Copies of this chain bind each other. A is one copy, B any other.
Amino acid sequence: MKYIEKLRNSGLRPTKQRLQICEVLFDTEKTFHFTINDLANKIKKQLNNKISLATIYNTVHAFEKKGYLKQIPINSNQTYFDTNVSDHHHFYDLKEEKLIDLENSDVGPINILKKINGKKIKSVEVLVKLED
């Protein structure tokens, strides 16, 4: 299993549940955006065994903390995550309620001119809302 190493190196024990969640999240060609609910459904469909919701939450948060997932800042009652952890931006289609990746190259360089004393920039994220 290719994820055993990855988990071990992160100080996470490679349990059956974590490995299966890795498969669902990272064994795809393309990266994708999801909510916990999306992920739970995907797991139910792809896997024959059940993983408790608490474990899904725990695992997603553990992976996020290790940098294998990113949270996307957006106003929604559910939290959105991204398997694309590269530095990039998003369209948000208001009608469809869907996120679309916007690569850094699709956005001109962003230069933050204002400085805040004693603070440094950790990330710069652009959200472009779309309407019809």
Q: Contact residues of A with B, CB < 8 Å?
A: 71-75, 79, 91, 93-94, 100, 102-103, 105-114, 116, 118-132
Q: Is the CB of B116 within 8 A of A100?
A: yes
Task: Decide: A107 near B110, CB < 8 A? Known: A73-B73, A128-B124.
Answer: yes
Closest to A80 in B: B75
Query: Whole-angstrom distance between the alpha carbons of A132 and B72 in the complex?
Result: 21
Pair A108/B109 contact, Cβ less than 8 Å: yes
Q: Are B121 and A112 in contact (CB under 8 A)?
A: no
Residues of chain B within 8 A of A130, CB atoms compared: 116, 119-122
Partner of A112, one of B74, B106, B123, B132: B106
Bound CA span A28–B122, Å: 31
Report whether A131 and B120 are in contact in the complex, using a CB–CB cutoff of 8 Å: yes
Does B107 contact A119, Cβ atoms closer than 8 Å?
Answer: no
Known contacts A73-B74, A122-B131, then 7 further A-B pairs from the complex at CB < 8 Å, ordered by chain A residue: A91-B114, A94-B122, A106-B113, A108-B113, A110-B110, A118-B132, A122-B129
Q: 15 A-B contacts, Cβ less than 8 Å apart?
A: A73-B73, A73-B75, A73-B127, A74-B75, A91-B114, A93-B116, A100-B116, A107-B111, A108-B108, A119-B131, A120-B130, A120-B131, A121-B128, A121-B129, A123-B129
